[in-house]
Amino acid sequence: MRTKDWAVRLKLAPNVQSASRAIVVGRGTAPIVKALQLLGIQDILVTDIIPETLARTKADHGSAGRLGNELGVRTWEGDFTELPAYMGPADVVVFCSPNFGTQTSAREAMTQACMTVRPGGCVLIATDVGNDWFTPNFPPQREGLASLVAGLPCRIHSEQEGQYAYCASLQVPPSYRLRSPVLLQGEVVRGFGRGSRQMGTPTANIDPAPLQAALAGMSKGVYFGWAQLVTPEGWPQADAALHKVVLNIGSRPTVNAGGEADTVECYILHDFQGGQEFYGCHLRVVAVGYLRPELKFPDLDALVARIKADVAATQLHLDSPSIADHNATAAAILLKEASAA
Ligand code: ADP
Ligand code: MG
């Protein structure tokens, strides 16, 4: 398809405008890069695991600086699922080829893309329909696309299949609000003691067994919200107040050897008397927003770095006016539960 036709299609996707930052992934990026440039987009990163793709990009566009704020077409060679955080965030990620720039899977690449894109931005699958790819499930098309992104924080915005090209557009939600706040509460139980505390992020594990009904309606992943602890006798009033919380619902793929039940783990952003333990206490948590799906990190350092980013995002979202009404609802729910107890 011609550059101009691609530009027309790409322009329809949410948040694709001249000031956007774009990441273009995989073989066959050349027409997409040209179309993005035609739309005035100047900040473009091309990534692939295959060096030839990048060699071609460099030949076409020269090589802008690898770091810094220099505009232009830059390249990064590596597996897209391992894209360093400083390469993001982007407004749009475009996948151009069946390998999705990774040796893992299309699904993991999509997950990474959802986390690399800013809220409100989009992930595109855009490819010319050539003779060279009779790859099963690519382009994914309708049901394939739906299952590729099921459970990920994005929605199908549009899908166009033509004789010469395929273009699917997925939008990452502009805000991370849950439809309505969700109350989870129970006794703080012992976890697997895998050193959350040593990592500086203790997670109070709530006994998940009685929560099955509430959990059934929630995707696994990382949420943010408000927590209130029923403190032991004698603890200061401040400890019993409402505190911000980052909560993880799921199977902890980085440390789980497999076969362990899902957990609900709450990292409360408050210093309880110098990190005192409170096993056996009753903990109430209201989730108001969703941050990201659960991910498997290559090592603990990467996990810790991501947790720090999650904490920063939690602070930001909970202080944002766009979530103020949910915060008020959460406070009301916690007050009601406390007075009913
Ligand atoms: P476990 O594997 O048993 O859950 P962690 O290393 O995750 O152990 O530590 C969690 C425990 O740390 C909690 O159950 C709680 O008693 C204590 N703790 C102290 N401060 C906090 C906090 N701010 N957030 C969560 N838990 C905390
Ligand atoms: Mg824990």
Residues at CB less than 6 angstroms from ligand 1? 188, 190-193, 196-197, 202-205, 266-268, 270, 272, 275, 277-279
Specify the pTM: 0.66
Residue nearest to atom 21 of ligand 1 (CA): 202
- In the chain, the N- to C-terminal Cα span, in Å, equals 65
pLDDT in tens, 7-44: 999 999 988 999 999 999 998 899 999 999 999 999 99
- Give residue 248 CA to ligand 2 midpoint distance, Å: 10
The CA distance from 38 to 16, in Å, is: 12
Phi and psi, residue 323, nearest 5°: -115, 0
CA of residue 123 to ligand 2 center, whole Å: 34
Dump pLDDT digits (tens) for 300-320.
Answer: 887 887 888 889 889 888 998
What is the reported pLDDT for 67?
Answer: 52
Which residue of 239, 246, 277, 300 sits with most ligand 1 atoms within 8 Å of its CB, as the best mutation to test the pocket?
Answer: 277
Nearest CA to ligand 1 atom 4: 191
Catalytic residue among 52, 265, 277, 294: 265
Distance from Cα 275 to the centre of ligand 1, integer Å: 8
Please, what sign has the CA dihedral across residues 66, 71, 75, 76?
A: positive
When pLDDT is averaged across residues 98-114 and rounded to a whole number, the result is 92
The amino acid at 39 = L
Strand order in the sheet with 90-95: 72-77, 43-48, 21-25, 90-95, 117-128, 165-171, 155-161
Rounded to whole angstroms, the Cα distance separating 180 from 290 reads 11
pLDDT at 257: 63
Atom of ligand 1 nearest to the CA of 271: 23
Q: Do residues 56 and 87 make contact, with C-beta atoms less than 8 angstroms apart?
A: no
* pLDDT tops 90 at residue 2: no
> Considering every ligand atom, which ligand is closest to the CA of 244?
1
Is 143 in the active site?
no
Neighbours of 249 (CB within 10 A): 25
